[in-house]
Amino acid sequence: MTNISGANPLLKIENLRAAYGKIEALKGVDLDIKPGEIVALIGANGAGKSTLMMSIFGKPRAKAGRIVFDGIDITALPTHQIARMSIAQSPEGRRIFPRMSVAENLQMGADAGINTEATKAETLERMLTLFPRLRERYAQRGGTLSGGEQQMLAIARALMSRPRLLLLDEPSLGLAPLVTRQIFEAIRTLNRQDGLTVLIVEQNANHALRLAHRGYVLVNGLITMSGSGADLLARPEVRAAYLEGGRQA
């Protein structure tokens, strides 16, 4: 087990504000993630979850506040430089390359990193072990995969660059419970066995808070609650807003 209580944060977000024109999507967000942690960010449609994730890559740019990764202030860095800093993203809507094969999609992910051919081969083997379905579909075009398989491919592609921090935006969106469980199980394995640090954005609060060590609740561009996953799951406000009567508990 990694001792995560005392470590310096791998990602530290301080008073982050971001806007699209006049729409202020983030109104001063504080959030940190320690090495080896899985942190869940939950919130309703339009709360600003995707904006927070994308603003780590500078799209949109912070209007105020700071984003520090591994001790380096990345707030004002160009997006392509941030992408080379060992942070990888599987964005909302799993944007894989539909006309490329599974193999080519994974190769593209590997090429985004700076690893040796040996490391790339080893990482590929790890991904195909973690997601056996991708091994079976290795030569198949991305666009012909099922929704769940495309999500697995999007995550595996992001991981091919061997990031230290993985950002996942709604990996369970539109997926059946069984596939969701498989994907969450793979994330848990990567965290436990490979020490991967994860920020997961989800409307599916039940799954996400069970998976995560800690969670944050985002409401209208502001963090309103934070705590351990178990602690948040037990709070009546969280249950009322994001579990019972909320979208797929």
> Is there binding between residue 50 and ligand ATP (CB under 6 A)?
yes
Q: Which is nearer to ligand ATP, 21 or 71 (CB)?
A: 21
Q: Sketch the per residue contact string, 187 through 226, with ligand ATP: x for CB under 6 A, - otherwise.
A: ----------------x-----------------------
Alpha carbon distance 65, 228 (integer Å)? 25
Q: What's the min distance (Å) between Cβ of 171 and ligand ATP?
A: 12
- 16-45 residues near ligand ATP, rule: CB under 6 A: 20, 23, 25, 43, 45
Nearest-CB residue to Mg ion? 50
Q: How far apart are CA 51 and CA 66, in angstroms?
A: 15
Q: CB-based contacts of 207: which residues, under 8 Å, 6+ apart? A: 172, 180, 181, 184
Q: Which stretch binds ligand ATP (CB under 6 A): 46-54, 70-78, 189-197, 240-248?
A: 46-54
Report the relative pairing of strands 23-33 and 11-20 from DSSP bridges: antiparallel
Q: Which of 74, 34, 182 is nearest to 65 (CA)?
A: 74
Q: Which residues sit at the interface with ligand ATP, rule CB under 6 A?
A: 20, 23, 25, 43, 45-51, 92, 203
